Amino acid sequence: MMKIIIRPGTAADVRLIAEFIRSLAEYEKLEHEVTFSEDLLRRTLFGNKRHAEVLLGFLDDKPAGFAVYYFTYSTFLAKPGLYLEDLFVKPQLRGKGVGKALFNRLLKRAREEACGRFEWSVLDWNSPAIEFYQKLGANPQKEWVRYRLDENQIQQLTA
């Protein structure tokens, strides 16, 4: 039986986290969108003002996957929410329980923080992820359309 370990990421893990992000981008065919430096990653994840948290998953002490998440707020519920930004398990290690263990740790974290919601987005073509989330009982939110302004648009609109 393979041993799964889930632990919080630390500043010493930045290189590993960067590798996972690049692997995720490759899987999602979004390598062109990866522009971070490891220094920026270190500052935004582990600096004085942390913008997100990281969980790392290991299978028999080998890095297998990661999850990046942060807390939001629902005015309708007057409660915090947990937003899962990324969950990724190396393709060759999928189906061994690492993704589910990461997800379960996030559920525990959401319960500890009394979150009213636990949300995430998934690419519409990513059927393995969609099937995984549906098996957990998650429901797609069809009535909401996600919008985005990128960094250049933010600069233009505030100029």
User: Catalytic residue positions?
Assistant: 133
Distance of alpha carbon 23 from alpha carbon 36, whole angstroms: 14
In total, the chain counts a number of residues equal to 159
Distance of alpha carbon 91 from alpha carbon 85, whole angstroms: 19
Distance of alpha carbon 84 from alpha carbon 119, whole angstroms: 6
CA angle 133, 73, 98 (to 5 degrees): 30
DSSP run (H or E) holding 4: strand 4-8
DSSP notation for 82-100: EEEEEEEE-GGGTTSSHHH
Instruction: Classify residue 64 by burial, with Cβ atoms within 10 Å: 0-12, 13-18, 19+.
Output: buried
